[in-house]
Amino acid sequence: MLLVDGDRPEPMRSGARELALVLTPEPGAEAKEVEETIEGMLLRLEEFCSLADMV
């Protein structure tokens, strides 16, 4: 079977570019995750200090 130009599937974009777009993290996502971790640690430290003050 011969393909006429109209029957030809669209050419794929660069696979590397597509993959890079998918794998690139959101710019602030890592910083936000670190901030949340630090906030959690500070909360635990505050609770520990309150407990130590009671003793």
pLDDT tens for 21-34 read 888 877 787 889 99
Q: Report the percent of the chain where pLDDT is more than 70.
A: 75
Is residue 49 one of the residues assigned to a domain? yes
- The CA distance from 37 to 29, in Å, is 12
Structural domain count of the chain: 1
Average pLDDT, the chain: 81
Is residue 53 one of the residues assigned to a domain? yes
Range of the domain at 46: 28-55
Tracing tokens 């910083």 back to the chain, one arrives at 31
Is residue 45 one of the residues assigned to a domain? yes
Is residue 22 one of the residues assigned to a domain? no
Is residue 44 one of the residues assigned to a domain? yes
Max distance between CA atoms of the chain, in angstroms, equals 86
pTM of the model: 0.50
Is residue 12 one of the residues assigned to a domain? no
